[in-house]
Amino acid sequence: MVRLRRLLASSPLLLALAIGGCADESGGGGVQSEKMNTIRSRGKLVCGVDGKLPGFSFLGPDGSYSGLDADTCRAVAAALFGDPAKVEYRDLNSSERFAALASGEVDMLARNTTMTLSRDSAGGNGISFGPTTFFDGQGLMAPVASGIRTLKDLAGKPICVESGTTTELNLADRMREQGIAYTPLKFQTGDQTYAAYLGGRCVAVTSDRSQLAAKRSSFPDPAAHVLLPEVMSKEPLTPASVNGDPAWSDAIRWTVFALFQAEELGITKANVAAKLAEAKANPNQADLRRFLGVEGDFGKQLGLPADFVVKVVGAVGNYGEVFERNVGTGSPLRLERAENRQWNKGGLIYSPPFR
Amino acid sequence: MKAADSLLASLRRELFASRSDGVISVGLLVLIGAAVAGLLRWAFGQAQWVVIQANTTLFALGRYPLEQQWRIWLLVALLAMATGLSWGLLRANPRADRSGVLWPGNDRIAVAVLAFLAAWGPAALGLALPLQLRWWAITALLLILRWASGRWGRRLPAGLLRWVPLIWPLLYLLGMVLISGGLGLIQVPPSEWGGLLLTVLMASFAILASFPIGVLMALGRRSELPLLRWGSVLYIEFIRGAPLITLLFLGQNILGFLLPGGLAPDRVWRAAWVLTFFCGAYVAEAVRAGLASVPGGQQEAARSLGLSVPQALQHVVLPQALRIALPATVGQFISLLQDTTLLSLIGLLELLGTARTVMANPEFLGKNAEVYLTLAVLFWCCCAALGLGSRALERRLDPSNTPA
Amino acid sequence: MTPEPRAIPWWRDRRVVPWLVQGGVGLVVLVVIALLLGNLVRNLTAAGLLLSWRWLGQPASFDVAESLIPFDAAMPYWRALLVGLVNSLRAILVGLVGATLLGTAVGMAAYSGNGLVRRLGRVYVELIRNIPLLLQLLFWYFVVFLSFRNGTEALQLPGVVLAKSGLYLAWFAEGWRWQGPELVNGVWQAPWRFSVEFAALLTGLITYTGAFVAEVVRGGIAAVPKGQWEAATSLGLHWGASMRRVVLPQALPVIIPGLNSQYISLAKNSALAVAVGYADLYSVAETTLNQTGRALEVFLLLLGAYLVIDLVISLLMNGLNQLVQIRER
């Protein structure tokens, strides 16, 4: 019965797929992307997130998601549909995220995922990464009372780590380099990992420093835990999509770049309408006109509406606003911009030119 | 006086028959007393039940949209009405199993338990007054219908009575529509179902769907056609040889590769089908044992009366086999209900998955004992009720109870 | 009404119809399988993940918490999976022994003369069987075992110390000297140490399976005719001796087939170790899947491993069953 209903429900999708080849999808002029057609006919973007990580993607008590990763999903939905609400979030374990992406379970990942060679390469996990949205590094957290201050203090001690993460591998590498024996206690999910750490089963927990800070902010007594100064690795947290659909990857990539570029140009959620009016009124502002889709066909080239940047920034703001709102000094996480400043302010956030 | 005497005598016989018995009994009594006292002290002293009270909606429905929750209330009310009606009719038309204490001969205890639960439960959960009132109303509806149909049920024409059980499958279909949407209702995708709702839905779907699969596979395994037999054997042994978690893993990670893009069902349904096929293999074994215990003469007798093979199966062999297989089958369903907790390991937010997200909430960190204990009580009640129902049904179907 | 010998139409011919049915079913199954496999190959090719086993030889580059055989991150994936398998086998073996002992004791308790013992056994069985194992495991680990303390505050019983860092047992040290757990520089030392993950897994598996084994044992004893009890008692044997010498041996032919399926379900349930952080086969396999992306291969390995374990248990139990069958003379 239910299967029948599902089949019936999916038949418009089949139909859309069948006629997708000849029909000109709204805004998708000339760009062939099976994925984008699927998403359009489904009417919403399915975005894989962590869901339990304050600041990045967190399911609030009212059932809505917030965070930097969630805003990335929202930005892409705004670019596709002009409506940031057309997202369905899927909570994914770190151990199931790539399989979910590869099997088409989710359209994209915005799940604090580190970009690495083996995940990117066709011979490895074979997924396609966008621009990094958060430059992070792996750290260690330990209770202040334990007296642990360096890696060496951890010799012979149990360390909690989430299984299936790069942190698990980096921990093994660093400890092997330094010849330190330790016991890795692995858990499937972040909440179990931190429950075991808070339960005192391990003397330290390792993860991305931003994640540690996020979790610490949620502990009953944040001051009782210290982030060790050691940074064990580079962790560029990056949205990803499946390999083999370059048009879809490009759409994600340039949506994220649009967030960067908007900050660089000083376009905010509040002033984007005014800027648009300004660009329309002033034919000399060529950069702004192209960026906001008043001139040229950048949106069309990507298979997106011409004014996708306006929709994106109008929905979530520019990158600086997204950062500040979710993880910045004004948020409970209180993270500094540090590496995540714009390139012209000494950071790594850099959008290639929109032209 | 006499009662007290006999009580003392039975106490002596049961607990203090010999000196060693006495020592064991006293020791055990002390241990039990200490354990119960400790538990009570914790439950009413240290435990912070606010973690349950603050998250009742999450535990019950997960992320089901707030503005659509009236649909679930409606469904619960309908279920209560159907229960009351069936209950009363069963009472009005008792079978010969009056020896049964709880069901359906004498149901005062059940009524009292229900009334108590309705009065105490919502208050203990700290629900808002309007919600408490709704629960009272629903319980009242159930009890009134039970009373009314019990009183007047006998006067209904027999032809009508025969159709009453049909309200259950109809209600199930209606419930599916109410929960998932369609027919003019807003769609609520499976990814937004959660908590108890998802647990019950998964378990009931898998139970209903696995039963026919199990019967077919059991027949297949006993078939004389080698292809059917070996196919069934392969299916049953493959499923029974693998841990459920690896099969769920298959459903989540590999099924997407097996089906053409976009056609793979939602992962909630994928898990439901895995549970169904998993349970089907075990039901098949239970039914096979039932089939094996029906004497071959029955089939031969039915055939010699001129029934075809399918007719003989349908009218003679299967009814007997299924009655014998009933306890084992219900045992499977109980373990299936328990197995739904494994869905939390693949990231679905059923009862245990919801519990884990609640415990990850900064406000409720470290409240593991309260949450696990509540879930344990809930599961215990559901499983014990299924077991109780199975035993009552067994008695009702027992041919030796049928009046001559 | 003359019984005229008519040619039976082929669709009612009892020699033809079964083969038609089989052929039809077989064809449908084959077509479905071919379609699925075709999709699988196409999708895997598109994802660059066609079946290959070469990755098994590459360095795993992750560590495993506990291992009975030497392992470090530089060793290949197959070795990591072997470590997981050994860990699984260890949990299964100890679990089988524990569940059998506990289950037999509780099953026998159902026939105790002491009413309290009888009822306690019943309460235990009814309580445990109706609560999901996964819930019980999480409870044992996060609520019970993680509430023990380290150092001098650990729970100390004669010969046993329960601390957050592990479960410490007394055993014979060198020279057959009985060696209990002792505190050295604030850290417990003992001849035998188990991690709390292992201890929690075992506690959960043993108490859960024990309840089912108890039911099997109780049913087996119930199948022994009452006269055997009476005969044993009238010979002057006391309760324990009649149970051990007369009743249990006769109950074994009924008990062993029932135990077989309980043992297999214990072996399969051991895969839930992943929930309490014990590095069993499933847990290592999941990590491997993550690092390599090889879903199909990892699944096939898992399936094969558990099938073999089940088969071995079944074979052993069938052998045992042959041994205890009562031979009529």
CATH number at residue B262: 1.10.3720.10
Same domain, B181 and B317: no
Residues of C in contact with B369 (CB under 8 A): 139, 143
Q: Which of B356, B367, B370 to mutate: most A Cβ within 10 Å? A: B356
B274, part of any domain? yes
**Shared-domain flag, residues A63 and A79:** yes
Would you say residue B93 lies in a domain? Answer: yes
Asked, for residue B128, whether it belongs to a domain, the answer is yes
Q: Inform me whether the C-beta atom of residue C27 falls under 8 Å from chain A C-beta atoms.
A: no
- The beta-strand segments (E) located in A199-276 are 204-208, 225-227, 234-237, 240-242
Contacts of A165 in chain C (CB under 8 A): 290
What confidence tier does C2 reach under pLDDT thresholds 50, 70, 90? low
Quick one: B203 and B184 in the same domain? no
Domain match, B201 and B321 both? yes
CB contact under 8 A, C296 and B259: no
User: Per-residue pLDDT for chain A (355 aa), expressed as one digit of tens each?
Assistant: 444 444 444 444 444 444 333 334 444 456 778 899 999 998 999 999 988 788 899 877 677 889 999 999 999 999 999 999 999 998 887 777 888 888 788 999 999 899 988 888 877 778 899 999 999 999 999 999 988 888 888 888 899 998 877 888 888 888 888 888 888 898 888 888 988 898 888 999 999 888 888 888 888 888 899 988 888 888 899 999 988 889 999 999 999 999 999 999 999 999 999 999 999 999 888 889 999 999 888 999 999 999 999 999 999 999 999 999 998 888 878 788 888 999 999 999 999 999 8
- Confidence band, pLDDT 50/70/90 cuts, at residue B264: low
Query: Looking at CA atoms only, how far is residue B326 from chain C in angstroms?
Result: 17
**Structural domain total, chain A:** 2
Q: Determine, yes or no, domain membership for A91.
A: yes
pLDDT band at C34 (very low <50, low <70, confident <90, very high): confident
Predicted complex ipTM: 0.87
User: Looking at the structure, do residues B229 and B169 belong to the same domain, yes or no?
Assistant: no
Regarding whether A307 and A263 lie in a shared domain, the answer is yes
Query: Mutate which of A169, A178, A193, A203 to test chain C, going by most C C-beta atoms within 10 A?
Result: A169
Q: Are residues A111 and A255 in the same domain?
A: yes
**Do A119 and A253 belong to one domain?**
yes
Nearest CB among B13, B334, B375 relative to C135 is that of: B375
First to last CA, chain C: 58
Judgement on whether residues A159 and A273 belong to the same structural domain of the protein:
no
Within this chain, do residues B298 and B199 fall inside the same structural domain, yes or no? yes
Same domain membership, residue A129 and residue A113: yes
Q: Domain for residue A340, yes or no?
A: yes
pLDDT at position B14 is 74
Same domain, residue pair A150 and A192: yes
Q: Is the pLDDT of residue B197 over 60?
A: yes
- How many CB pairs (< 8 A) connect A and C? 95
Mutation for testing the A interface, residue in B365, B367, B368, B372 having most A CBs under 10 Å:
B365
Angle of helix A34-42 relative to helix A246-264, nearest 10 degrees, comes to 80
Q: Is the residue at B105 inside a domain?
A: yes
**Structural domain span for residue A174:** 137-233
Is B36 within a domain? no
Is A100 an interface residue toward C (CB < 8 Å)? no
Which residue range forms the structural domain that includes residue B250?
Answer: 194-398
Query: Residue C4 burial (CB < 10 Å; 0-12/13-18/19+)?
Result: exposed
Looking at per-residue pLDDT, the higher value among A201 and B14 belongs to A201
Q: How far is CA A153 from CA A140, A176, A181, A206, A208, in A?
A: 12, 15, 11, 14, 20
Count H helices, E strands: chain B?
19, 0
DSSP structure string for A302-338: HTS-TTHHHHHHHHH--HHHHHHHHTSTTSTT----G
The single-letter code of the amino acid at C119 is R
Residue A160 located in a structural domain: yes
Cα separation, A25 vs A303, whole angstroms = 9
Cβ count within 10 A of residue B151: 12
Q: Which chain B residues have a beta carbon less than 8 Å from that of C307?
A: 241-242
| Domain-ending residue, one of A198, A216, A233 | A233
Average pLDDT, chain B: 83
- C65: helix, strand or coil: coil
On whether residue A178 sits in a domain, the answer given is yes
Set of chain A residues whose Cβ sits within 8 Å of the Cβ of C287 = 95, 163-164, 168, 186
Residue A260 tokens read as: 């960067």
Same domain, B155 and B221: no
Residue B217 lies in a domain: yes
Contact B357 A103 (CB under 8 A): no
Q: Is the pLDDT of residue B216 over 50?
A: yes
What torsion, rounded to 10 degrees, do the Cα atoms C145, C149, C153, C155 define? 10
Tell whether the model's pLDDT for residue C137 goes beyond 90.
yes
Q: What is the pLDDT of residue A281?
A: 92
Please check whether residue B253 touches A, CB under 8 A. yes
Instruction: Work out the minimum CA distance from B366 to partner chain C, whole angstroms.
Output: 9
Q: Is the pLDDT of residue C103 over 90?
A: yes
Nearest to C294 by CA among A118, B296, A147, A232: A118
Q: What is the pLDDT of residue B299?
A: 81
Cβ–Cβ gap B259/C143 under 8 Å: no
- Asked if residue C329 has pLDDT above 70, the reply is no
Residues of A in contact with C279 (CB under 8 A): 186
Q: Which amino acid is at C174?
A: E
Residues B324, B265 share a domain: yes
CATH number of the domain bearing residue A184: 3.40.190.10
Q: Are residues A92 and A158 in the same domain?
A: no
| Closest residue in chain C to residue B369, using alpha carbons only | C143
* pLDDT at site A13: 42
**Distance of alpha carbon C77 from alpha carbon C83, whole angstroms:** 10
Q: Which fold has domain C77-131+197-324?
A: MetI-like fold (1.10.3720)
Q: How far is B66 from chain A (nearest CA, A)?
A: 9
Please check the confidence at residue B132 and state whether its pLDDT lies above 80: yes
pLDDT value of residue C284: 92
| Interface with chain A: mutation pick from B50, B56, B59, B63, highest number of A CBs within 10 Å | B63
Query: In terms of domains, do B59 and B173 share one?
Result: yes
Residue C327 binned pLDDT confidence (cut-offs 50, 70, 90): low
Inter-chain Cβ pairs, chain A and chain B, closer than 8 A: 87
Query: What residue in A sits closest to C63 (Cα-Cα)?
Result: A172
Structure tokens at C65: 């918490």
B101 in a domain, yes or no?
yes
Which of B188, B209, B229 is a domain's end point? B188
Whether A104 and A159 share a structural domain: no
Q: Answer whether the bond into residue B130 is a cis peptide, omega within 30°.
A: no
CA distances from A133 to A130, A242, A245, A338, C47 (A): 9, 18, 21, 13, 25
Statement to judge: residues A228 and A281 lie in one domain: no
Closest Cα of chain A to C86: distance in Å? 17
Cβ-nearest to B368 among C143, C270, C306 = C143
Q: Does the distance separating the beta carbons of C142 and A195 come in below 8 Å?
A: yes
Which of B142, B167, B188 terminates a domain? The answer is B188
A118 and A68 in one domain? Answer: yes
Tokens of B118: 């309705």
Residue-level pLDDT at C326: 65
Do A261 and A118 reside in the same domain of the chain? yes
Q: Around A201, how many Cα atoms within 13 Å sit in the side-chain half-sphere?
A: 31
Look at residues A180, A213, A233 and tell me which one is the last residue of a structural domain. Answer: A233
Chain A residues with CB under 8 Å of C197 CB are 185
Q: In chain C, which residues have their Cβ closer than 8 Å to the Cβ of B30? A: none
Considering its fold, how many domains does chain B have in total?
2
Taking the CA of residue C176 and the nearest CA in chain A, the distance in Å comes to: 29
Q: Burial code of A294-329, b = ≥16 C-beta within 10 A, e = fewer?
A: bbeebbbebbbbbbbbbbbbbbbbbbbbbbbbbbbe
Nearest-by-Cβ selection for A124 from C146, C196, C293: C293
Q: Which of B25, B225, B258 minimises the CB distance to C36?
A: B258
Task: Name residues 72-101 of chain C within 8 A of A (Cβ).
Answer: 72-74
**Band (B258; pLDDT cuts 50, 70, 90):** confident
E-strand spans in chain A?
45-49, 52-53, 57-59, 65-66, 87-91, 108-109, 127-129, 134-143, 158-162, 183-187, 204-208, 225-227, 234-237, 240-242
Give the chain C residue whose CA is nearest to the CA of A125.
Answer: C293
- Asked if A125 has any chain B CB less than 8 Å from its own CB, the reply is no
Whether residues B242 and B105 fall in one domain: no
Q: Does A34 touch chain C (CB under 8 A)?
A: no
Per-residue model confidence as pLDDT tens digits over B33-68: 999 999 999 888 888 888 888 888 888 888 888 888
Q: Do B122 and B223 sit in the same domain of this protein?
A: no
Best C138, C269, C286 member to test B by mutation, with max B CBs in 10 Å, is: C138
For B21, name the nearest residue in chain C, comparing CA atoms only.
C114
Chain C: give the shortest CA distance to residue B245, in Å.
7
Q: Would residue A121 count as lying in a domain?
A: yes
Considering A210, A233, A256, which residue would you say is the last residue of a domain? Answer: A233
Q: What residues of A are in contact with residue B173 (Cβ under 8 Å)? A: 1
- Domain limit, last residue, from B125, B160, B188: B188
**C209 to chain A, minimum CA–CA distance in Å?**
24
| Chain A residues with CB-CB distance to C66 below 8 A | 183
Query: Is A176 at the interface with chain C, CB within 8 A?
Result: yes
For B331-352, write each residue's pLDDT tens digit.
Answer: 889 999 999 999 988 888 889 9
Element (H, E) at C156: strand C155-157
Is residue A229 assigned to a domain?
Answer: yes
The H or E element spanning position B149 is: helix B129-152
More confident residue, A19 or B402: B402
Chains sharing 3 or more CB pairs under 8 A with chain C: A, B
What's the helix, strand, coil split of chain A in %, to 5? Answer: 45, 15, 40
**Residues in contact with C286: Cβ distance below 8 Å, sequence separation at least 6, in sequence order:** A95, A163, A164, A188, B249, C274, C298
Q: Does B368 lie at the interface with A, CB-CB under 8 angstroms?
A: yes
Q: Measured between beta carbons, which residues in chain C are less than 8 angstroms from residue B379?
A: 130-132, 135
